[in-house]
């Protein structure tokens, strides 16, 4: 009887430590990686095809309102492309996101990483850490996402020198 209780306890401990993962997570990580490489190549047409028609996106600039149309999101992305050259993203990780109501993995992707690039206006380079999140629908399109980092600080750091 002691052995049965010990075995049961060991099994209970092992199963309680197992993380639940959403079966879509690994596929969505690959979609996120594709999105970042497409953003780096400044291909707005392909970036557009990666977003659902109905989308919510939070930009990183101070005072940025939640974007609720694909056109707003593409304008935001295009603004980065117009202002910066040689944009690259080096991820530190890709982590599973959770449903805010259930706290269960929902297949969304979070990532922390470093952006690098050069200002078109000044030629100055930047390196800045950001956090991003993306939620995908069943068709693999982004329906929700956002950027968190010091976007205004980046712009100030690479601004042309005052004369």
User: Three-state SS across 143-155?
Assistant: EEEEEEECHHHHH
Q: Distance of CA 72 to CAs 12, 68, 148, 151, Å?
A: 49, 7, 17, 17
Q: What is the DSSP letter of 104?
A: S
Q: In whole angstroms, what is the distance from residue 123 CA to residue 126 CA? A: 10
CA distance 92 to 69: 29
pLDDT along the chain (163 residues), means of 10: 66 56 92 98 98 97 96 97 97 95 94 98 98 97 97 96 86
**So what's the pLDDT on residue 23?**
87
End-to-end CA distance of the chain: 85
What pLDDT is recorded for position 2?
72
Q: What is the pLDDT of residue 10?
A: 57
- Domains of the chain are 23-157 (3.10.450.50)
Q: How far apart are CA 55 and CA 143, in angstroms?
A: 5
């Amino acid at each position: 009887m002691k052995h049965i209780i010990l075995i049961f306890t060991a099994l209970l401990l092992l199963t309680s430590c197992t993380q639940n993962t959403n079966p879509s997570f690994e596929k969505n990580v690959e979609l996120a990686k594709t999105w970042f490489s497409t953003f780096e190549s400044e291909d707005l047409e392909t970036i557009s095809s990666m977003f659902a028609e109905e989308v919510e996106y939070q930009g990183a600039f101070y005072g940025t309102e939640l974007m609720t149309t694909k056109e707003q999101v593409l304008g935001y992305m295009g603004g980065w492309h117009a202002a910066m050259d040689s944009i690259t993203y080096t991820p530190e990780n890709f982590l599973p996101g959770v449903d805010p109501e259930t706290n269960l993995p929902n297949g969304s992707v979070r990532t922390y990483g470093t952006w690098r690039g050069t200002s078109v206006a000044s030629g100055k380079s930047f390196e800045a850490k950001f956090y991003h999140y993306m939620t995908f629908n069943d068709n693999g399109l982004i329906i929700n996402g956002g950027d968190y980092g010091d976007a205004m600080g980046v712009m100030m750091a690479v601004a042309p020198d005052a004369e």
